[in-house]
């Protein structure tokens, strides 16, 4: 990873390269630096190129997205660093109580999986109503263990959305099974369409991974019914949905498995981590063994009693969580509902502001009685407005935006084979934008976003080709 100092050196090299074009001699080192101008991958969504007339104002960042062999930015460009956003997309932070819990976890001497992890699992069972909760190193790990628990493997086909993070699909491929992409409901409802899912089950798919997009329940109840009719396994990817409820049940407890995330930008973010939810104690027990090399006795078990030996019941992995982070997640869990109320208030302000402007429409709200965690807020621009122009205009005001997600069925890894026709997913990917949303957002930050949106769309309309 490139450090901040190295980023400044690279920026200076670019400025030097620009000056040589006006007549100054270029040294061998300068020529080398000019050839090694930073390149910014288009998928690094926290970077937006802004054109400026003065190349000496160029700065580049964040550094971990630099020097990738993909598309190059214009010579005269500035890329905002993460610290320069007036309103960042998200603002991960730990409160004093969470920091103290993390520190206490380290001071306890249990730096890996131990009693605090077990306590967090019990708290998650109580909060979600799940019969079983297994803490793991990431949501990806939870999804992988769910696939293994469901017996998914070579020769199987698993229905997945294209509008999701790569992990949802990668875990299927890692088992040797084939991901089958299905269409979303509509351009304002970017979650799996049960009709499209059932069509794939009729063609022989044996499992479905649904995604609670942005924390929205989507059509999960109908997916449960469809999977039951076909004897298919439903796995819920609820990375976005800590605190999301559908008809009185927490998302992740309606299917056979659910997978929560503790990644930085999520509602229970602590850096990395995840939780597997299940109603099956046998499968949960197998997942517990699999997360630690298939060993029948955990480190805590061996600490509490002098075992003469233990068994490796089956090949396993290292998907363990650790006690310091478990303690911090426990502290965050106590504030989850209040944080989600703050998120809902901000999302409501966005909806109210966009209600009178037909140029941008929020994704659909959940039905009355359901609760959305509002992990993120997405909207779609009207057909004919260039979404990227809107993003650039917002960036000029210091407002960071993002894209969720590039359609996976068009990605290099998954576009092989017969072409998939998913026009709704592709249209959503082309027109959608993710606006800043985090519980600690200040009123002045929210006001800046709301004030900037109409002008950004005005600018995008003016730039529209005739």
Strand partners, 49: 79
Q: Which fold would CATH assign to domain 336-462?
A: 3.90.1150
Query: What is the structure's pLDDT at 68?
Result: 34
The tokens of 97 are what? 């109580």
Point out the residues of the chain with pLDDT beneath 50: 1-78
Query: What is the structure's pLDDT at 265?
Result: 95
Between CA 202 and CA 18 the distance in angstroms is 60
Between CA 32 and CA 52 the distance in angstroms is 24
Between CA 181 and CA 184 the distance in angstroms is 10
- Judge contact between 19 and 363, C-beta under 8 A: no
The tokens of 194 are what? 């049960």
Between CA 314 and CA 290 the distance in angstroms is 8
Query: What is the structure's pLDDT at 303?
Result: 61
For residue 9, indicate whether it is catalytic.
Answer: no
Total residues belonging to the chain: 466
Sign of the CA dihedral 288, 291, 294, 300?
Answer: negative
Angle between helices 139-149 and 166-174 (to 10 degrees): 40
Query: What is the structure's pLDDT at 299?
Result: 66
Query: What is the structure's pLDDT at 423?
Result: 98
Cis status of the peptide bond prior to 405, with omega within 30 of 0: yes
Between CA 89 and CA 376 the distance in angstroms is 9
Query: What is the structure's pLDDT at 24?
Result: 38
362-384 per-position pLDDT tens digit: 999 999 999 999 999 999 999 88
Query: What is the structure's pLDDT at 188?
Result: 98
Between CA 19 and CA 25 the distance in angstroms is 9
Nearest to 441 by CA among 450, 432, 433, 453: 450
Between CA 230 and CA 235 the distance in angstroms is 14
The domain ranges of the chain are 4-84, 96-333, 336-462
For tokens 């966005």, name the residue.
350
Options 3.40.50.300, 3.40.640.10, 3.40.50.150, 2.30.30.90; CATH of 96-333: 3.40.640.10
Query: Given 9, 51, 228, 266, which residue is catalytic?
Result: 266
Query: What is the structure's pLDDT at 312?
Result: 87
Between CA 190 and CA 422 the distance in angstroms is 12
């Amino acid at each position: 990873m490139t450090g901040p100092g190295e980023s400044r050196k690279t920026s200076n090299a670019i400025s030097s390269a620009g000056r040589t074009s006006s007549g100054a001699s270029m040294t061998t080192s300068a020529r080398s630096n000019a050839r090694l101008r930073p390149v910014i991958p288009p998928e690094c969504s926290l970077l937006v190129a802004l054109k400026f007339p003065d190349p000496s104002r160029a700065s580049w960042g964040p550094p971990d997205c630099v020097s990738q062999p993909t598309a190059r930015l214009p010579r005269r460009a500035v890329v905002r660093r993460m610290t320069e956003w007036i309103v960042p997309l998200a603002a991960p932070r730990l409160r004093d109580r969470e920091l103290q819990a993390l520190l206490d976890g380290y001071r306890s001497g249990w730096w890996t999986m131990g009693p605090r992890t077990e306590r967090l699992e019990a708290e998650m069972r109580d909060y979600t109503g799940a019969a079983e909760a297994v803490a793991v190193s990431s949501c990806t790990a939870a999804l992988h263990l769910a696939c293994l628990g469901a017996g998914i493997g070579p020769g199987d086909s698993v229905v997945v959305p294209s509008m999701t993070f790569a992990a949802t699909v990668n875990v299927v491929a890692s088992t040797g099974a084939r991901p089958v992409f299905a269409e979303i409901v509509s351009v304002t409802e970017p979650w799996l369409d049960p009709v499209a899912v059932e069509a794939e089950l009729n063609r022989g798919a044996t499992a479905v991974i649904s995604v609670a997009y942005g924390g929205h329940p989507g059509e999960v109840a109908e997916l449960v019914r469809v999977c039951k009719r076909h004897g298919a396994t439903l796995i819920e990817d609820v990375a976005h949905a800590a605190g999301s409820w559908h008809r009185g049940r927490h998302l992740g407890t309606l299917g056979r498995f659910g997978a929560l995330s503790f990644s930085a930008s999520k509602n229970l973010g602590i850096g990395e981590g995840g939780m597997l939810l299940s109603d099956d104690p046998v499968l949960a027990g197998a997942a517990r063994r699999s997360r630690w090399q298939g060993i029948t006795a955990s480190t805590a078990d061996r600490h509490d009693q002098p075992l003469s030996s233990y068994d490796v019941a089956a090949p396993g992995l290292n998907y363990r969580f650790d006690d310091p982070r478990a303690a911090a997640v426990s502290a965050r869990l106590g504030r989850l509902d209040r944080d989600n109320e703050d998120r809902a208030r901000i999302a409501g302000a966005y909806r109210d502001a966009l209600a009178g402007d037909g140029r941008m429409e929020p994704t659909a709200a959940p039905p009355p009685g359901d609760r959305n965690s509002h992990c993120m807020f997405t909207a779609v621009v009207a057909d004919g407005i260039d979404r990227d122009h809107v993003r650039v205009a917002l960036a000029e005001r210091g407002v960071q935006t993002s894209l969720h997600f590039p359609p996976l069925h068009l990605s290099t890894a998954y576009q092989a084979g017969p072409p998939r026709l998913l026009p709704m997913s592709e249209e959503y990917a082309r027109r959608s934008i993710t606006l800043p949303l985090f519980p600690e957002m200040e009123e002045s930050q929210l006001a800046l976003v709301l004030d900037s949106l109409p002008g950004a769309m005005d600018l995008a309309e003016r730039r529209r080709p005739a």
